Amino acid sequence: MATLGMSAADREAVEAFRRNVVEPSMTQLVIVDFWAEWCGPCKQLGPVIDKVAQDYAARGVKLVKIDVDKDKFIAAQFRVQSIPTVYALFQGQPVADLTNARTEGQLSRMLDQLLAQLPVQAGEVDPAAADVEEFLAMAQAVLADGDAERALAIFEQIAEIAPEHVSASAGRALALLQLGRVAEAEAVLATITDDKSKDPALAQARAGVALAKDAAPVADLAGLARQVEAAPDDLDKRYELAGGLMAIGDRDGAADQLLASIATDRAWNGGAARERLLKLFAAVGLEDPWVSNQRRRLSAILFT
């Protein structure tokens, strides 16, 4: 980009681009993400690009974000007509348009292909970032094993190192939920900005808080269960029983009651039983084998 005849602001933008993009691209693969604060699709794609770029940093991949409102001259040089627009640059030249890669898998496959073809030099891993990811994996494994107290302690250590790490905050909220500390979990989630809301662990934590607030404890759960058994078509009581079972962590019992209600009258109370069941699925985690099994049960009711 020639600087002759340009304004001082444009010259400064070009120099910054050379320093942050062109020079690193001599040895690294630089992902340039053109975005804007008002762009909804950019906010959806942003966390995906951030994560993949971090995962590939050790292989020589660097991410640079360019706000098209602040760097209009650079965006114009690349003829950016819509956003998000994402390019990969190597040795100062665009080598791939990554705009259509909207998932981690798609973006990873495209980067793998580029790295196999180009003489990109491996990058250096930030030791602090590596520690965070190592601690995060440990905390998630401990939480999956059911030791919420220990997992919470690890997540809180991560929060001291990386207070804005979304997955760590979501894990911390999930640990608090398992310990029955719903208000604290909700407070943790409130600190996370909306532009990071596509994180799967975050969605699970938010669903868990919503479910915990929806599930009301029942003083005489056994007595209510007997009432439902005596009057199985009383869907109000069955719904109350499902909430009571969720409140004590009996997801199997809650699912049984909600599925029975749907089988009796799927439209009851505006589909409340199905809505509560879907909340339960989201709180457990959509990839969990238990959820897959319950979904099959739900499908058998809905499509027979």
State the catalytic residue, choosing from 42, 86, 151, 188: 42
Among left, alpha and beta (phi > 0; psi -120 to 50; other), residue 55 is alpha
Q: Which residues contact 156 (CB under 8 A, 6 or more apart)?
A: 172
State the catalytic residue, choosing from 31, 32, 39, 86: 39
| Residue environment code for 71-96, b if the CB has 16+ CB neighbours within 10 A, otherwise e | bebbbeebebeebbbbbbbbeeeebb
Whether residue 171 lies in the annotated active site: no
The token pair at 29 is 């693969």
Whether residue 42 lies in the annotated active site: yes
| Residues taking part in catalysis | 39, 42
